[in-house]
């Protein structure tokens, strides 16, 4: 079983020193940088906009994994692409025509992801799987960090892994929500290859970041 990629969520970073924290988590071995964008409408929280993404871009050369929890989403794609996003992930519920949204993301030269909320079924991907680069299974209801892992999502991870394998394309399977050392292993065993971890990545401050990431990867 290969070690998963770790995409630390900056939602758990120190916002007073965000650039420094991004540099520190990058140096500690983060594979991607996960950026949660929330609008206070689609989800019950308000975070950042493309200006912050642009400001952070010089601080890391790692892929910026941008999760847009905003609706309507289409009018913001170009701004986040221009700000430096490498992967743009959207929710099927965030616009009237998700296939068109995926086409728009790829037309901007970015990788396109689809996020599945806990109650959104895997079959939502049936007519999208050939167009996307990433599936994000939400193992908590989106909106806040620090929530507990919803165990039923392991079955969804397994179902999505089968879909990806059947499609025969290089598609990442990412999981976000309640990830710690224990749930990281469960998700990887179910078929995930990318894990988003906020609290578990940033816990203990910069001196602990490397050890946190090593533990999440399951490396002894």
**Known active-site residue 36:** yes
Q: Identify the sign of the CA torsion 69, 107, 136, 145.
A: negative
Whole-angstrom distance, CA of residue 131 vs CA of residue 14 = 36
Mean pLDDT of all residues in 4-20 = 97
pTM assigned to the model = 0.97
- Please identify which of the residues 21, 31, 74, 176 carries the catalytic annotation: 176
pLDDT band at 187 (very low <50, low <70, confident <90, very high): very high
What DSSP designation does 16 have? G
- Please identify which of the residues 36, 39, 65, 193 carries the catalytic annotation: 36
Contact 135, 128 (CB under 8 A): no
Whole-angstrom distance, CA of residue 194 vs CA of residue 184 = 10
Q: Is the peptide bond before 101 cis (omega within 30 degrees of 0)?
A: no
- pLDDT at 144 (0 to 100): 73
Is 80 exceeded by the pLDDT of residue 125? yes
- pLDDT at 21 (0 to 100): 98
Is 90 exceeded by the pLDDT of residue 220? no
Tell whether residue 9 is among the known ligand binding residues: yes
Tell whether residue 29 is among the known ligand binding residues: no
Is 60 exceeded by the pLDDT of residue 40? yes
Reduce the DSSP state of residue 157 to 3 states and report it: helix
User: What is the Cβ-side half-sphere exposure of residue 108, based on CA atoms within 13 angstroms?
Assistant: 23
Tell whether residue 145 is among the known ligand binding residues: yes
pLDDT band at 143 (very low <50, low <70, confident <90, very high): confident
**Known active-site residue 193:** no
CATH 3.20.20.70 assigned to 5-217? yes
pLDDT band at 145 (very low <50, low <70, confident <90, very high): confident
pLDDT band at 126 (very low <50, low <70, confident <90, very high): very high
Contact 206, 14 (CB under 8 A): no
More confident: 219 or 206: 206
| Residues contacting 219, CB < 8 A, separation 6+ | 3
Nearest CA-CA partner of 33 in 60, 64, 3, 68: 64
Tell whether residue 49 is among the known ligand binding residues: no
Give the residue extent of every domain in the chain.
Answer: 5-217
Is 60 exceeded by the pLDDT of residue 41? yes
Is 80 exceeded by the pLDDT of residue 51? yes
pLDDT band at 146 (very low <50, low <70, confident <90, very high): confident
- pLDDT at 157 (0 to 100): 98
Helices and strands (H, E) in the chain, number of each type: 8, 8
Nearest CA-CA partner of 10 in 30, 29, 27: 30
Nearest CA-CA partner of 140 in 148, 132, 152: 148
Q: What is the mean pLDDT of the chain?
A: 96
Mean pLDDT of all residues in 30-35 = 98
Mean pLDDT of all residues in 45-50 = 95
Is 90 exceeded by the pLDDT of residue 83? yes
Nearest CA-CA partner of 86 in 23, 43, 38, 133: 133
Tell whether residue 178 is among the known ligand binding residues: yes
Mean pLDDT of all residues in 157-184 = 97
Is 60 exceeded by the pLDDT of residue 49? yes
Give, to the nearest 10 degrees, the angle between helix 209-217 and helix 18-27. 50
Is 70 exceeded by the pLDDT of residue 53? yes
Whole-angstrom distance, CA of residue 96 vs CA of residue 98 = 6
Q: What are phi and psi of 5, to 5 degrees?
A: -75, 145
């Amino acid at each position: 079983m290969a070690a998963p990629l770790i995409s630390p969520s900056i939602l758990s970073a120190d916002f007073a020193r965000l650039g420094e924290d991004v540099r520190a988590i990058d140096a500690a071995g983060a594979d991607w940088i996960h950026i949660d964008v929330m609008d206070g409408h689609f989800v019950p929280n308000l975070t950042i906009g493309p200006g912050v993404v642009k400001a952070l871009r010089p601080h890391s050369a790692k892929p910026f994994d941008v999760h847009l929890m905003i609706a309507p989403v289409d009018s913001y794609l170009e701004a986040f692409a221009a700000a430096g996003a490498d992967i743009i992930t959207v929710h099927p519920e965030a616009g009237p025509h998700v296939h068109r949204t995926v086409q728009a993301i790829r037309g901007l030269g970015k990788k396109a992801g689809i996020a599945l909320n806990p109650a959104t079924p895997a079959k939502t991907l049936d007519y999208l799987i050939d167009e996307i680069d990433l599936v994000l299974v939400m193992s908590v209801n989106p909106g806040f960090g620090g929530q507990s892992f919803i165990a039923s999502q392991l079955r969804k991870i397994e179902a999505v892994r089968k879909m990806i394998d059947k499609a025969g394309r290089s598609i990442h399977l990412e999981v976000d929500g309640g990830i710690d050392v224990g749930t990281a292993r469960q998700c990887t065993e179910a078929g995930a290859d990318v894990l988003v971890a906020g609290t578990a990545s940033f816990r203990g401050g910069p001196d602990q970041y490397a050890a946190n990431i090593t533990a999440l990867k399951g490396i002894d």
